[in-house]
Amino acid sequence: MTRLPPRACRPRPSVPVRTTRPPVRGRTTRPPVRYRIITASLLTIAALYFLVPVYWLTVSATKNSADLFGTFGFWFSDDPRPVGHLVDVLTYDHGVYVRWFGNSLLYAGIGAVCATLLSAAAGYALAKFPFRGREAVFNVVLAGVLIPGTALALPLYFLFSAMGLANTYWAVLIPSVVSPFGVYLCRIYAAAAVPDSLLEAARIDGAGEARIFGGLGLRLMTPALVTVFLFQFVHIWNNYFLPLVMLSDSSLYPIQLGLTSWTGYADRQPVLYQFTVGGAFLSVVPLMVLMTGLQRYWRTGLTEGSVKA
Amino acid sequence: MSRDTLSRPAPAARQRPRRASRTEARNARAAACFVLPFFALFGLCFLAPIGYAVHQSLRRTERTGPLGLGGQEHDVFAGLANYAHALADDRFLTGFGRVLLFGAVQIPLMIVLATALALLLESASARGVTFFRSAFFLPYGVPGVIASILWGFLYVPGISPLVKIADVAGWDVDFLARGTVLWSIANIVTWQFTGYTMLVLIAQLKSVPEELYEAARIDGANAWQVARHVKLPLIRPALVLTTVFSIIGTLQLFAEPMVLRPLASSIDSGFTPNLHAYSEAFVGNNQHVAAAEAVLLALVACVLSFGFLRLVGRRGEDRG
């Protein structure tokens, strides 16, 4: 894609470009069969490594407790009951699983939306308003990217429990809306994608800064915002340590914490092994579908984040 | 630079000093409104906890009742006693050694695997690129806890089909034994993050103009030579970035050993520094030592990350 504009601008050569290219193309896109076989086998072996555990989970979600232990893990039992077992998971203990799932959606959804908006505003300002101390402020944000999250979680718990915020929805939500990486990405993106001349024109037309940001800035930054939202959503969804230290009330648990509390009791209540497997399956499938479907945005984020660093 | 001059309104040229300073003031006001919401929360969730942890790590709880029971509790200044306590704790130090060994093995392995997969996928010999890329990236969508539960089932004798297959083949494998459990955890982490690392590398490979590869091929370089001499040097920044993130991630190792703990007796409460700090805080009820350990953990992470960045930075300069 990026190669298109220069070529389009080039004066049309007397010999059409296409006729000069096939020899090169032909040689590079059709390497010897031996290479193709080696490549395909290596990729297949790797794919097996990454997919087999997911396959195991899918198969196992159709089994009852006895079959989970009694039958071969990589094949179905005599009586696979995918739907029935998953309904059992959803209704167990007055539907506590559904509640955990809802909590996860709440933490990740609201957290990621707020994080995206805050990052967008901060990144936009850092890119588009030259003010004194701007680089210093930006460097503090960058340091924030490098601080390990779990080294912060314990101190954050001490602080929040001193403030009386521990064991509330806020304890997980508030830290989730801060994304230094989001600010970093938004700044880089805004610097490249929001032209100063456009902002100037809007100012001359008499628009206020808030309106310019809402009407122009946010719109021009949309690809970056989608990326920040996705990264933050997955980050919050996968976060385990923070909710673990913050929450003691199981009705506030996100899904991960709930599932580990089931495995903790599984010794005494073996049916919970089955529910853990089913619950893990239910929680993983939608996210994996989402992730593979939205790979394009991950790649944009990664390019902006790593290549221009 | 040009951005600064551009953002001034065009008519400013006539009365530059006043207009410029007014623009600056207006800029600063607007910037403050945009930046403040983020920074208020950044302060609350990043700066304040660090400050509070440092503060707590320098204090200890003293009880005034007889025999230290009952009575009033209050904090007194303790100097570096908590740090001394943490650093004198064998299990804490062993945990540190363990994650450093873990990182020294797992990070290079994962980076090499991810690089190989990225180069294979980007090579002309690859078919079904979209499918393979998605397959490799898929585990990144599995949260660490779920991945650990999943692999935990694949490690435990009785459920694990892997152990059964090994049995039939006549091998006696124990994924959760004292000597192997660390590498079983390394496998979980590799499984989860190789695809992500690969995607970072592919993103960088894609940002390189195709002409560069074509030029190399026309010069007679084969696929391996293009990979070794053109592609690898070009993805260096991405390799550095993913390595730094991996170092930070390794030091935080927590969810995997925590989830596997009920299955593996070889994992104790000091298996990783993070696990140790967690049990100091919630089992040992010793917040001050836990705070000191959290501070030490953050410091080591920073030193290692910045150290690595400087190391590769310097080598890059030598090369020119």
pLDDT tens digit sequence for B4-37: 444 444 444 444 455 567 777 777 888 889 999 9
Given an 8 Å threshold on Cβ–Cβ distance, is A295 in contact with B255? no
Does any domain span residue A276?
yes
d(CA B197, CA A285): 21
Return the ∠ at Cα A241 (arms to A239 and A247), rounded to 5°. 100
Closest by CA to A189, choosing from A103, A119, A131, A251, is A119
* pLDDT averaged over every residue in chain B: 84
d(CA A119, CA A179): 7
d(CA A221, CA A202): 17
- Distances A152 to A111, A144, A209, B243 between C-alpha atoms, Å: 18, 10, 35, 21
Given an 8 Å threshold on Cβ–Cβ distance, is A240 in contact with B254? yes
Residue of chain A whose alpha carbon sits nearest to that of B226: A28
The two tokens of residue A171 are: 């304890």
The two tokens of residue B30 are: 């607007």
d(CA B193, CA A304): 19
Pick the range with the lowest mean pLDDT from A284-298, B172-186, B239-253, B258-272.
A284-298
Contacts 24+ apart (CB under 8 A), B112-118: B113/A46, B113/B190, B113/B194, B114/B194, B114/B195, B114/B197, B114/B198, B114/B201, B114/B242, B115/B198, B115/B201, B115/B232, B115/B235, B115/B239, B116/A42, B117/A43, B117/A46, B117/B194, B117/B198, B118/B198, B118/B201, B118/B202, B118/B205, B118/B235
Please report the pLDDT score of residue B317 as a whole number: 52
Amino acid (one-letter) located at A127: A
d(CA B187, CA B109): 10
Of A30, A51, A178, Cβ closest to residue B135: A51
The SS3 of residue A203 is helix
Q: What is the mean pLDDT of residues B128-133?
A: 90
d(CA A261, CA A272): 10
Residue of chain B whose alpha carbon sits nearest to that of A71: B159
Does any domain span residue A269?
yes
Q: How many helices (H) and strands (E) does chain B have?
A: 16, 2
The backbone region for A91, taken as left when phi is positive above 0, alpha when psi lies in -120 to 50, beta otherwise, is: alpha
Given an 8 Å threshold on Cβ–Cβ distance, is A309 in contact with B27? no
The two tokens of residue A289 are: 């579908």
- Enumerate the β-bridge partners of residue B74: B62
Please report the pLDDT score of residue A75 as a whole number: 84
Please report the pLDDT score of residue B295 as a whole number: 92
d(CA A9, CA B51): 56
Burial A242-273 (b: 16+ CB within 10 A, else e): bbbbbbeeeebbbbbbbbbebbeebeeeeebb
ipTM: 0.83
| B273 neighbors A154 (Cβ within 8 angstroms) | no
Taking residue B232's Cβ as centre, other Cβ atoms within 10 Å add up to 14
User: pTM for this one?
Assistant: 0.84
- Phi, psi torsion values for B158, nearest 5 degrees: 105, -50
Taking residue A55's Cβ as centre, other Cβ atoms within 10 Å add up to 12
Does any domain span residue A62?
no
Given an 8 Å threshold on Cβ–Cβ distance, is A152 in contact with B138? no
Q: Where are the beta strands (DSSP E) in chain B?
A: 59-63, 73-77
- Give residues 91 to 110 of A whose Cβ lies within 8 Å of B: none
Please report the pLDDT score of residue B296 as a whole number: 92
Given an 8 Å threshold on Cβ–Cβ distance, is B49 in contact with A259? no
Q: For an interface test with A, give the residue of B153, B156, B279 to mutate (most A CBs within 10 A).
A: B153
| A172 neighbors A153 (Cβ within 8 angstroms) | no
Given an 8 Å threshold on Cβ–Cβ distance, is A241 in contact with B217? no
Burial B50-88 (b: 16+ CB within 10 A, else e): bebbeebbbbbeeeeeeeeeeeeeeeeebeebbbebbee
Does any domain span residue A305?
no
Does any domain span residue A197?
yes
The two tokens of residue A88 are: 């059992």
The residues near A69 (Cβ < 8 Å, ≥ 6 apart) are: B158, B159
B71: pLDDT strictly greater than 80: no
Given an 8 Å threshold on Cβ–Cβ distance, is B38 in contact with A154? no
Q: For an interface test with A, give the residue of B38, B137, B164 to mutate (most A CBs within 10 A).
A: B38
Q: Which domain holds residue A252?
A: 96-297
- Give residues 223 to 282 of A whose Cβ lies within 8 Å of B: 234, 237-238, 240-241, 245, 256-257, 259-260, 263-264, 267, 273, 276-277, 280
Q: What is the mean pLDDT of residues B206-227?
A: 81
Does any domain span residue A66?
no
B60: pLDDT strictly greater than 90: no
Closest by CA to A243, choosing from A93, A99, A103, A89, is A103
The two tokens of residue B38 are: 């983020």
d(CA A253, CA A99): 8
* Dihedral angle, C-alpha A24, A26, A29, A32, nearest 10 °: -110
Please report the pLDDT score of residue B31 as a whole number: 86
Q: Residues of B with CB below 8 A from A259's CB?
A: 145-146, 149
d(CA A58, CA A73): 10
Does any domain span residue A43?
no
Indicate the number of domains in chain A: 1
Given an 8 Å threshold on Cβ–Cβ distance, is B138 in contact with A154? no
Is A299 within 8 Å of chain B by CB?
A: yes
Amino acid (one-letter) located at A122: A
Q: Please name the residue ranges forming H helices in B219-286.
A: 223-226, 232-234, 236-251, 255-260, 273-282
Give pLDDT < 50 ranges for chain A: 1-28, 306-309
Is A177 within 8 Å of chain B by CB?
A: yes
What pLDDT band is residue B314 in, cutting at 50, 70 and 90?
A: low
B279: pLDDT strictly greater than 50: yes
The CATH number given to whatever domain includes residue A240 is 1.10.3720.10
DSSP state of A12: P
Q: For an interface test with B, give the residue of A181, A205, A302 to mutate (most B CBs within 10 A).
A: A302
Report the gap between the CA of A93 and the closest CA in chain B (Å).
21
The SS3 of residue B59 is strand
A14 compared with B187, residue with greater pLDDT: B187
The residues near A24 (Cβ < 8 Å, ≥ 6 apart) are: B214, B217, B218
Report the gap between the CA of B65 and the closest CA in chain A (Å).
23
Write a three-state SS string for A111-165. HHHHHHHHHHHHHHHHHHCCCCCHHHHHHHHHHHHHCCHHHHHHHHHHHHHHHCC
Does any domain span residue A256?
yes
Residue of chain A whose alpha carbon sits nearest to that of B221: A28
Report the gap between the CA of B208 and the closest CA in chain A (Å).
10
Of B154, B200, B248, Cβ closest to residue A302: B200
Tokens 């009365």 correspond to what residue? B15
d(CA B198, CA B76): 50
A52-70 pLDDT per residue, tens: 999 999 888 888 877 887 7
Of these ranges, A115-124, B150-159, B276-285, the one predicted with the greatest mean pLDDT is A115-124
Longest Cα separation, chain A: 81
Residue of chain B whose alpha carbon sits nearest to that of A48: B135
